Every structure is written in structure tokens, then in C-alpha cells.
Amino acid sequence: MKENKLGLSIFCHAVLVFAALLVGLPLYFAFVAGSLSLQEVQQAPFPWVPGAHLIDNAVEAWTTGGFGRSFMNSIIVTVGIVVGKLAISLIAAYAVTYFRFPFRMTAFWLIFVSLMLPVEVRIIPTYEAVADTAGPIRWLLNVVGISGALESLFGYRIDAYLQWNMINSYGGLILPLIASATATFLFRQFFLTVPDELCEAAQLDGAGPIKFFWQILLPLSAANIAALCIIQFVYGWNQYLWPLLFTTDKSMATAILGLKNLIPVNDSVPAWNLAMNAALFVMLPPALIILVMQRWFTKGLVDAGK
Amino acid sequence: MATEFPVTVGGASAPSTKLAGGKRLRFAVPTSENGLKAAHFRNGRLAAALLAPQLLVLLFFFFIPSYKALSLAFVQVDPFGGREIFVGLENFTRLFSSEEYRSSAWITLWFTLIQNVVTIGLAMLFAFATDYVARGKGLYKLVILIPYAIAPVISGILWAFLFNPAVGPLAQLLHSFGIPWDPNRRPFDAQLLVIIASVWKHICYDYIFMVAALLAVPTSLLEASRLDGAGPVRRFFTISLPLIAPTVFFLIVMNFTYGLFETFGIIDAVTKGGPAGSTNILVYKVYQDGFVQLDLGSSAAQSVILMFVAIVFTILQFRGVERKVNYQI
């Protein structure tokens, strides 16, 4: 169904070229700024052509920003989030869709409720939870009275030994971010569309639940898993608020935090060339993944919204 | 919302299957219980083991913190001694009577509204154009998609540079027109800058959904309307737009949650809430009051208010999805 409306066609192309420029120009300017020397980046008419210092700036930004360490941290945290979230949500979704057991709906609702509150609104209490992960266990021991009983038995307080702190640890960076049920719901929705005959056939052939999961359900979910991996990778890599709060130790900073520290503030040297250069290489890993795996990711994102 | 992508629970007992030609067929799966497969296992212990990791993580990092936030909102915490005194609703009354909090709420409302309208409007225009053009669709889509990969903080840094009054190319352009642009001093400039950075980062999200929704509009309807003499623009407004309305509604809700919560990084990178609190949106204020000024009670009360808003938006999101239009004819 194509009609020849040249005017509208030209208008639409103009709109899309505008959209492409809207996205592309800031990135191009960042690229230009990242290739200038400190003097050049401060001169009045901003140049349209890149300078000759792209590599030098990248090397300098990389070393002054400590990106060798922070890229490593970012990779560990991001992979931890991707793998951790996919693993726990796949098996949880499998349990609530494929098993009949008491409190199935209770478990389902407990997971469902967690969709309601984004991490940002429980910043401070979650910070406390990570700063004192063993706190709830101590509290429980005290309430149940085990602590007192043990004290009279052994002569020392057990709860004093239950100090467990996750600040400045990879666990502290990863675990609160996988504490949401979004992925669980996506997999649950997908499992519900898997034909029942598959499970019946597997049961007739004598396959147990674990075999059915590994050999049939998991291969069927490959496309969803791939899409979620991409979405979670971008999500994990781009985290800002959590790392900002949890990593007081500089050696635990992520790449995004390292970049933030490079931005010139009021009275410092306006080294925007280094900041822009760093911005480009920090956004590179997720951008490459999105560009290369675009088809999988858009389908997965839209399916997730259904 | 901190959720990295939206998820629905709608259609628990009526999943849809794709048929040839991209049409969706809805059918009821014969399940005895809601959301349980007809063919299932009865191994309760294994199920518990499979659920345990998810529930444990949720317990420690969701339920306990949420409970703490709720209980902290009703106490006054002494920052040095750490003693907690129950004060009832005082934290809330103090908040609502505070000029600063009301102005922050007001700024947040306007910020999210404008961000929402501009994002949806531009995304719709781009999606319509993408749907209409015959050549270069793939390339345009690919370019418009890029900001999805870019963190809000980086979007903030990019635009802070472009509009930096000393070195930014766009600020230089504005200065050459005689506009005294300076987001470090002029509140309006700062607000504009934050809105631009937020919109730029988020158009791609709305765009992806709208392009997909427009693709799902049945060609038979568009064809019939064309034979009746409607042009492409009229077809868009009378056929496509009503059919993708649920998607638009869903996106409006998602844009609000994005504007309310995820723009934290942009604010922190660009303005830090200033100048004179002119970009101090609610989520940034929670962080400032709690971590910078250590007023834990007030910060917790603010968290509770935001929780309430987040819950309302989540319910709206599910509502919108329930009213999904059926494209079957």
C-alpha cells in the first residue's frame, strides 16, 4: 500500500534527519571536544573538525581517572547483575508456573509486590541494609530469644559476632540491584505461552522437573534470555546512584563514577577534552552491544512491556 | 522507576500466541489455578529451593528496607546518638508545611509534565515518519536508538558540556545571539538544560514502543480507510492513534516514573539541584536530606511519599495494560 505523496515523503525524511542530528550532534561534539588539547577546547568559536589529540587524551583520561581499575569493577558488577538476575529469576519463574505447592500464590504475590517500589525511593534504608546485612538476623535471634539462650550456655553473645558489612564489596553493589522481580515476570509470562504438550510429553518419557527445565524449557527461552541479557547489561553498566552511595573506597568505583569525577567543577582546570573523551569510552561497551544486537533487544524490550 | 523495563501481570490465564501474519490470537489455557501450567510437577521441596534465592534477596534488600523506611518515617533520629523517638506524623506535617518541600514538589510536577509531553510528542513524530518512509528505515531506527545505551549521567554530562557557558558550543551560539545563557546562575536556564538532557535520553524508549505498535496496526484497516479517501496524516490520527492509544498511555506512565526517579543522575551531574533549588526534584531532595544533611526522619518521610506515588503509577501501568486493544477483527 504505497501512495506517491512526494511532499509528505520529503517531510518525513526531513523529520528523521532532524532526529538523527539530534542524537548524533551531541555525540559528534563530544568526539570533537575529546580530540582537542586543553587550549583548543577553550577557544571561542568551537571548532567543527576534530583535533589531533584523540589518542593522547584517551590515554591521559584513562590514567588520571583510574579507569583501569574502574572498568574492571564495572565489568564484574555488570556481569554479576546479568548472571545473578537471570539465574534467580529463571528458576523462580519456573517454580511459580510449573509446580503445585502450598503458598504458591503467596510466593507469587511476594514477588509481585516488589515491582511496585523502585530502588531510588528506598535509598537510605537499603543503604542500612547493606551496611549491616546481618542486622535482621541479629534482630531475629534476639526476638526469638536464641541469643539469650546461647549466652547463658556459652557465656558470650553470639550476635556480637554477627557483623556483616557489604559496603565497598561487589556483593553490596550487585545484590540490591537484582532485588526486583521484573525479569521473573517476563519469564513467567513467557512460560505461560509454552505449549502444555511439551511438559506432558516430557513427563510421559520419564523426565523429571530438572531435566525438563534444562533440556526443553531453557533452550526454548534462548531468545528471551538474550534480550534480557542485553537490557540488564545496559542497566547494570549505567548504574549511578548505588555505586555513588556504596563505594566510599575509590578502588571500588565503577566506570560511570570515574567519569563523574572527571567533570570540571567551578574552580578547577576546565579539562572538558578529557571528560568528553572519557564519556565516549565509558558509553562504548553498552552502545556497541545495542548496535550489534539491536534486533534482539528491541523485540525483547517491547515484549517485556506487553 | 528503577525497573529497567516494564513488566505486566495481565493475561495470566490468557496468554497470546503469534499466528502467521503477525496477528495475535488469545485463548484460555485450561489451568486449574491462576498462572499454573496444566501440566505441572508436584515436587514442593524442589519448588521451595528454586524460589529461595529470589525470596531471600527480596527479603534482605526489598522487604526489610521498605519496612525500615516506613518505620523511620514516624520517628525522629538523633544523628549522633542514633536514638529513635517516636513522633507520629510530625515528619509529614513538617514536610507539608515546609516552603522548600512544596517548591520541590511543584518543580518536580512541572519538570515531569514538560519532559513527558515533549518526549511523547517527538517520539510520536519520529515514529510516524519512520512508519511512512520507504527507504532508510533501518538506519534511522539504529541512530535514534543509540541513547538507550547511554546512562542518564552521561546524557547530563554531554549536555552540561554543550551548554557550558565558558566552553560549550551551544552556549557560544546563544551568547552570539545576545542571550545571557548561564545555567549556573539563571534558574530557568538550568531547568531547561535538565529537561533537554532528560528528553534526549528518553525519546528512544518511547520511539521503540511506538514503532512496534504502529507496525501492529492492521493493514486492512488502513487500506479500507485509504479507499475511502483518507490521506496518510488523517489515517494516522483516526485509525492508528486510537489503536495505539494503550501503548501511548503506558508510555505516559513510564515517562512519569522515569522523570520522577531515574533523572537523579542527570540532576546530580548537571545542576546538583541548583541554582537556588530550582532543579531540586523530589528524588534528589531525598538523597540530599538523607545523606548530605543527615535528617533521616524527614528523608524517610519523603521516601514514603515517593513510595506512595510509585505504587499509584504501578497500578496505573497495569490498568492501562488491561485495557489493551484487541486487533482481531
B246 → chain A, closest CA residue: A306
Angle between helices A272-292 and A294-305 (to 10 degrees): 80
- On whether residue B46 sits in a domain, the answer given is no
Q: Structural domain of residue B274, as residue ranges?
A: 92-322
DSSP chain A: -----HHHHHHHHHHHHHHHHHHHHHHHHHHHHHTS-HHHHTSSSPPSS--S-HHHHHHHHHHHTTHHHHHHHHHHHHHHHHHHHHHHHHHHHHHHHHB--TTHHHHHHHHHHTTSS-GGGGHHHHHHHHHTTTHHHHHHHHHHTHHHHHHHHHSS-GGGG-----TTSHHHHHHHHH-S-HHHHHHHHHHHHS-HHHHHHHHHTT--HHHHIIIIIHHHTHHHHHHHHHHHHHHHHT--HHHHHH--SGGG--HHHHHHHHS--TTS---HHHHHHHHHHHHHHHHHHHHHTHHHHHHHHHHHH-
- Reference B105, options B281, B279, B310, B284; nearest CA is B281
- On whether residue B5 sits in a domain, the answer given is no
pLDDT number for residue B65: 82
Best residue in A86, A111, A120, A283 for a mutation probing chain B (most B CBs within 10 Å) = A120
Give SS3 for B86: strand
- On whether residue B2 sits in a domain, the answer given is no
Q: What is the average pLDDT score of chain B?
A: 81
DSSP B219-274: HHHHHHHHHTT--HHHHIIIIIHHHHHHHHHHHHHHHHHIIIIITHHHHHHHTTT-
Average pLDDT over every residue of B183-196:
91
CB A250 within 8 A of CB A34: no
Best residue in A6, A21, A121, A256 for a mutation probing chain B (most B CBs within 10 Å) = A121
Judged by a CB distance cut-off of 8 A, whether residue A233 touches chain B is no
- Which amino acid is residue B60, in one-letter code? F
Domains by residue range for chain A, with CATH: 7-115+180-305 (1.10.3720.10)
pLDDT number for residue A153: 63
- Reference B55, options A29, A179, A285, A135; nearest CA is A179
Q: Which residues of B touch A270 (CB under 8 A)?
A: 164, 166-167
Cα of A65 to nearest chain B Cα, Å? 15
**pLDDT at residue A204 above 60?**
yes
DSSP A126-165: HHHHHHTTTHHHHHHHHHHTHHHHHHHHHSS-GGGG----
**pLDDT at residue A260 above 60?**
yes
- On whether residue B259 sits in a domain, the answer given is yes
Highest mean pLDDT among A87-96, A287-296, B8-17, B282-291: A87-96
Judged by a CB distance cut-off of 8 A, whether residue B136 touches chain A is yes
- On whether residue B51 sits in a domain, the answer given is no
CB B264 within 8 A of CB B2: no
CB B291 within 8 A of CB B218: no
- On whether residue B210 sits in a domain, the answer given is yes
Query: What's the pTM value of the predicted model, to 2 decimals?
Result: 0.84
Beta bridge partners of B86: B75
Give A174's pLDDT tier (boundaries 50, 70, 90).
confident
Q: Phi/psi at B24 (nearest 5 deg)? A: -110, 135
Selected residues 263-292 of chain A with any CB under 8 Å from a CB in chain B: 263, 266, 270, 272, 275-276, 279, 282-283, 286-287, 289-291
Polymer length in residues for chain B:
329
Beta bridge partners of A99: B41
Site of grid cell 534476639: A142
Angle between helices B241-257 and B187-215 (to 10 degrees): 140
Q: Which residues of B touch A184 (CB under 8 A)?
A: 54
- List, in order, residues 6 or more apart from A280 with CB less than 8 Å away: A27, A30, A31, A34
- Tell me whether residues A210 and B46 touch, CB distance under 8 A: yes
Identify the CATH number of the domain in which residue B296 sits: 1.10.3720.10
Average pLDDT over every residue of B267-277:
86
- On whether residue B138 sits in a domain, the answer given is yes
Give B82's pLDDT tier (boundaries 50, 70, 90).
low
B271 → chain A, closest CA residue: A265
pLDDT number for residue A125: 74
Judged by a CB distance cut-off of 8 A, whether residue B327 touches chain A is no
Q: Which residues of A touch B210 (CB under 8 A)?
A: none
Higher pLDDT, A45 or B54: B54
**pLDDT at residue A257 above 60?**
yes
- List, in order, residues 6 or more apart from A235 with CB less than 8 Å away: A81, A177, B4
Three cell numbers at A40? 583548543
DSSP code of residue B325: P
Judged by a CB distance cut-off of 8 A, whether residue B184 touches chain A is yes
Give A163's pLDDT tier (boundaries 50, 70, 90).
low
Q: What is the average pLDDT score of chain A?
A: 83
- On whether residue B25 sits in a domain, the answer given is no
**pLDDT at residue A158 above 70?**
no
Give A65's pLDDT tier (boundaries 50, 70, 90).
confident
Polymer length in residues for chain A:
306
- Reference A81, options A170, A142, A143, A185; nearest CA is A170
- Tell me whether residues B47 and A101 touch, CB distance under 8 A: yes
Q: Phi/psi at A168 (nearest 5 deg)? A: 60, 35
pLDDT tens-digit readout, B17-61? 444 334 343 334 444 467 788 888 888 889 999 999 999 888 888
Residue A233 C-beta-side C-alpha neighbours within 13 Å: 19
Give SS3 for B75: strand
pLDDT number for residue A304: 63
Judged by a CB distance cut-off of 8 A, whether residue B286 touches chain A is yes
Q: How far, in Å, CA of A209 to CA of A191, rounded?
A: 14
Query: Above pLDDT 70, what percent of chain A?
Result: 86
User: Which residue in A22, A26, A208 is closest to B158 by CB distance?
Assistant: A26
For residues B243-267, one letter each, b for 16 or more C-beta atoms within 10 angstroms of the residue's C-beta and e for the rest, the string is bbebbbbbbbbbbbbbbbbbbbbbb
Q: Is the dihedral of CA A293, A298, A301, A303 positive or negative?
A: negative
- Reference A120, options A60, A40, A177, A63; nearest CA is A177
**pLDDT at residue B5 above 50?**
no
Q: How far, in Å, CA of B104 to CA of B95, rounded?
A: 11
pLDDT number for residue B206: 93
- Tell me whether residues B286 and A121 touch, CB distance under 8 A: yes
Give B73's pLDDT tier (boundaries 50, 70, 90).
confident
Do β-strands B16-18 and B24-26 pair in parallel, antiparallel, or remain unpaired?
antiparallel
Higher pLDDT, A145 or B99: B99
Q: Which residues of B touch A277 (CB under 8 A)?
A: none
Site of grid cell 530502588: A119
- Tell me whether residues B58 and A87 touch, CB distance under 8 A: no
pLDDT number for residue B267: 92
pLDDT number for residue B7: 39
Give SS3 for B85: strand
Q: Which residues of B touch A33 (CB under 8 A)?
A: 161
CB B303 within 8 A of CB A124: yes
**pLDDT at residue B196 above 80?**
yes
**pLDDT at residue B146 above 60?**
yes
**pLDDT at residue B153 above 90?**
yes
CB B114 within 8 A of CB B195: yes
Judged by a CB distance cut-off of 8 A, whether residue B226 touches chain A is yes
Judged by a CB distance cut-off of 8 A, whether residue B198 touches chain A is no
Judged by a CB distance cut-off of 8 A, whether residue B233 touches chain A is yes
Instruction: Verify cis geometry, omega within 30 degrees of 0, for the bond prior to B6.
Output: no
Q: How many domains does chain B have?
A: 1
- List, in order, residues 6 or more apart from A134 with CB less than 8 Å away: A162, A163, A164
Higher pLDDT, B28 or A148: A148
Three cell numbers at B131? 512508519
**pLDDT at residue B80 above 70?**
no
Angle between helices B64-72 and A123-131 (to 10 degrees): 120
Highest mean pLDDT among A41-45, B7-11, B116-120, B216-220: B116-120
Q: How far, in Å, CA of B2 to CA of A227, rounded?
A: 18
User: Which residue in A98, A235, A270 is closest to B40 by CB distance?
Assistant: A98
CB A74 within 8 A of CB A254: yes
Q: How far, in Å, CA of B324 to CA of A222, rounded?
A: 27
Three cell numbers at A57? 587524551
**pLDDT at residue A168 above 50?**
yes
Site of grid cell 548472571: A83
**pLDDT at residue A281 above 70?**
yes
**pLDDT at residue B187 above 50?**
yes
Of the given ranges (A149-153, A164-168, A192-196, B131-135), which has the lowest mean pLDDT?
A: A149-153
Site of grid cell 586543553: A38
Q: How far, in Å, CA of B301 to CA of B89, rounded?
A: 9
